[in-house]
Chain A
Amino acid sequence: MSATVQQILVGMAVIGALLYLVLRARKKKNCDSGCGCGTKKPLK
């Protein structure tokens, strides 16, 4: 694997993680703590 491909993969992973966290924070849910408190999210 060339160094460039590695760099691109790393960059994508970091940006992906950032995007995931930002989008997740914007999405409204009932209980998004993931603490296992048992509060269910609304079923669709």
Chain B
Amino acid sequence: MAEAPQIFRRIAIAGNPNTGKSTIFNALTGLRQKVGNYPGVTVEKKTGRFFGSHGEAMELLDLPGSYSLQVRSPDEAVSRDVLLGRVPGTPRPDAIIAVLDASNLDRHLYLVAQFLELDIPVIVALNMVDVAEKRGLTIDLLGLKNSLGVPVIPMVASRGQGLIELKQALSRATLQVSDQRAQLPIVLEREVAALSRMLKGHAGSVRSEAMLLLSLEDDRLAAEAKGDSTLLTEIHAARERLKLSGLDPIAAPVDARYAWVSEVCASTVHRQGEDSHGLTFSDHIDQILTHKLWGWLAFVGMMALMFVCIFVVAQAPMDWIRAAMQAVAKWTGAHLPPGDLRSLVVDGVIVGVGNVVVFLPQILILFFFLGLLEDSGYMARAAFIMDRLMSRVGLHGKSFVPLLSSFACAIPGIMATRTIENRNDRFVTILVAPLMSCSARLPVYAIMIALLMPASNVWSKAGVMLCMYLIGVIAAFVMAGLFKKTILRSETPMLLLELPPYRAPVFRGIVQRMWERAVVFIRRAGTVILALSVLLWALLSFPKPTEPDATQSEILSHSIGGRMGHAIEPVIAPLGYDWKIGIGLVASFAAREVFVSTMGQIYNIEDAKEDNEDLRTQMRDERRADGTPVFTPLTCLSIMVFYVLAMQCLSTVAIVRRETNSWRWPLFQIAYMTALAWIGAFVVYQGGHLLGFR
């Protein structure tokens, strides 16, 4: 491998959320990206390499989108610490690309005002100039450049306009630190200067560090000052002096920066015609989608449509995969001599992997819909209409977005909690996120619904599935309320959320992500699920009973897996499960979808017929010792409820451990969710029995 060229410049890219920061990052770095973590904290660190206009190697660091360097969430703390050069292993950047939305300069320049105070060269990427023009805004680029004292590059990042100019600006031999900045009130400036002298570090960064310390809230200040009592006393004394002179240390710098921004905008931005207070297209949509009643109807309607599509559209491709799988099994069965090897290949590998792969179409459709919701800007609206409900249990509407992502998978959901400012709220969200039904539960629900109501139409099937998702949501709410009142007490946060304008989703992007997910899913089926299937097969096949004419059922019962199933049968019998379902439950603690492949293997080994029947038929025909069917409607419901509520995912346990930085929370989560699952399934089964259902 060629040696990596020496890095000429390290550049950070920063800006408010929804400014096209990621588009510029991707356009500059292409596939040369690297995603890792900052040490100690769990915020993702995304870096990429690119070459300047003279071929010099540059490293680009993507900072999380934020409105201000004033810290309120773990994401924002990282942005600030990197820019102050306080993160070990991440050198202070040589320059900052500040990405601004040209149509909204009077707000986005605030962050630039903070960057200019850092004494790092800044390059302004003025993105979406086309949108600004459409809105009748004329920006005097030269004037803006002079007022800010930094290069200003007009861009339309989505079409690649301005990238070359940006690279040229970054490649200049020297980048100047601007001498323009917001003028602070003189009293405040004096206190900042005095405090800077007490701090150690880079000459440029101590000033901004001093300013941040002065404007921190008391509880955060103690953490930031790291127990330096002289520094703390000095900060408190400075604040007292400022108050005496009629200045609020938190409000004064903000007001000074905005006053400066207004001045800059007044001389460089010219507006023609009506100002931005007219209702836009987004506002008209919002009048429906955020309406008290229509908003809810739209939300429920969208979810219902999603689940119906999952059944209707996925049906045909699922049938093809199932048919292909059976054909392969039949062919292999015919070409291998009877014995353990054939059993391994047919009952273990093909049945085990095939039964999971069948659900690929449904999972892709789920991801397609979630991608649509995310890209169009609807997610923020969902958080908005959910806020009322969320605030009942003491959570912020923001907590709903991680919960909604958890419908795809709890892992991105749990990672999305990083934007939640309050630690306790964040932990409550992490604790309940796995209760939202993820895509791995889909196979279990699908097979159970097929057994529960084989002849029903799609609408009732989608209805039952929607109910399962709802049970998860309700459980998440109840548990969140309980945790907020007991172990993770904190005030109900107030809603403050930006609603980005609606944008047409880029289908290419969504299809690309679906493709990536398909690859990941198939790779997982071919590796982990394959390995687990082989092991499960071994567990279900060995040791063999000594008498040679044992029936298949006796062989299964005698195997290690069978014994495990029998061992836990007393615990799960009240839920309506037999020992074979018990094997499936135990196996799916590694990953939920393994339940389906385990069931497939169990009934295939047991049947030992030449032709591979459909798993649904096999399960439907399964009988208890007294001749009654095993999978009664009540048992199916009980199994589904168990899967809704149980924490059966090793990957989630690992991610919760990482995000909470302790084993305490993931272990607690496993305990409470397993208990909840058992109780839920017990109530469904025994309650149903008492009411006369079977």
Q: Which A residues lie at the B interface, using CB under 8 A?
A: 1, 3, 6-7, 9-10, 13-14, 16-18, 20-21, 24, 30-43
| A39 in complex: contacting residue of B415, B438, B440, B654, CB < 8 Å | B415
Given contacts A1-B341, A6-B339, A35-B438, contact A30 B530 (CB under 8 A): no
Flag if A34 contacts B535 (CB, 8 Å).
no
Given contacts A10-B340, A21-B528, A30-B36, contact A37 B523 (CB under 8 A): no
Q: How far is the CA of A40 from the CA of B36 in the complex (A)?
A: 9
Residue B411 is within 8 A (CB to CB) of chain A in the complex: yes
Flag if A42 contacts B440 (CB, 8 Å).
no
Q: How far is the CA of A43 from the CA of B36 in the complex (A)?
A: 10
- Cβ–Cβ < 8 Å partners of B415 in chain A: 37, 39
Given contacts A17-B531, A31-B411, contact A40 B524 (CB under 8 A): no
Q: Could you give, for residues 512-535 of chain B, a 1 whenever the CB lies within 8 Å of some chain A CB and a 0 otherwise?
A: 010011001101100110111011
Q: Could you give, for residues 100-129 of chain B, a 1 whenever the CB lies within 8 Å of some chain A CB and a 0 otherwise?
A: 000000000000000000000000000000
- Cβ–Cβ < 8 Å partners of A3 in chain B: 339
Residue B337 is within 8 A (CB to CB) of chain A in the complex: yes
Q: Which residue of B lies closest to A14 (CB)?
A: B538
Flag if B340 contacts A43 (CB, 8 Å).
no
Smallest beta-carbon distance A40→chain B, Å: 5
Residue B631 is within 8 A (CB to CB) of chain A in the complex: no
Given contacts A21-B528, A33-B652, A43-B33, contact A38 B412 (CB under 8 A): yes
Given contacts A31-B655, A34-B651, A39-B44, 9 further A-B contacts (CB under 8 A): A9-B341, A10-B340, A14-B535, A17-B534, A18-B535, A21-B535, A35-B408, A38-B516, A43-B34
- Cβ–Cβ < 8 Å partners of B531 in chain A: 16-18, 20-21
Q: How many A-B residue pairs have CB under 8 A?
A: 97
- Cβ–Cβ < 8 Å partners of B528 in chain A: 21, 24, 34
Specify which of A9, A32, A34, A35 lies most central, judged by the most chain B CB atoms within 10 Å of its CB.
Answer: A35
Q: Could you give, for residues 424-450 of chain B, a 1 whenever the CB lies within 8 Å of some chain A CB and a 0 otherwise?
A: 000000000000001110000000000
- Cβ–Cβ < 8 Å partners of A36 in chain B: 363, 367, 408-409, 439, 516-517, 520-521
Residue B487 is within 8 A (CB to CB) of chain A in the complex: no
In chain B, positions 437-469 with a C-beta closer than 8 Å to chain A are: 438-440
A sample of 28 cross-chain residue pairs with beta-carbon separation below 8 angstroms, ordered by A number, consists of A1-B341, A6-B339, A9-B341, A10-B341, A10-B344, A16-B531, A16-B534, A17-B530, A17-B531, A18-B531, A21-B535, A24-B527, A24-B528, A30-B36, A32-B654, A33-B649, A33-B651, A33-B655, A35-B408, A35-B412, A35-B439, A36-B409, A36-B517, A36-B520, A38-B513, A39-B35, A39-B44, A43-B33
Q: Which residue of B lies closest to A19 (CB)?
A: B531
Q: How far is the CA of A30 from the CA of B343 in the complex (A)?
A: 36
Flag if A32 contacts B651 (CB, 8 Å).
yes
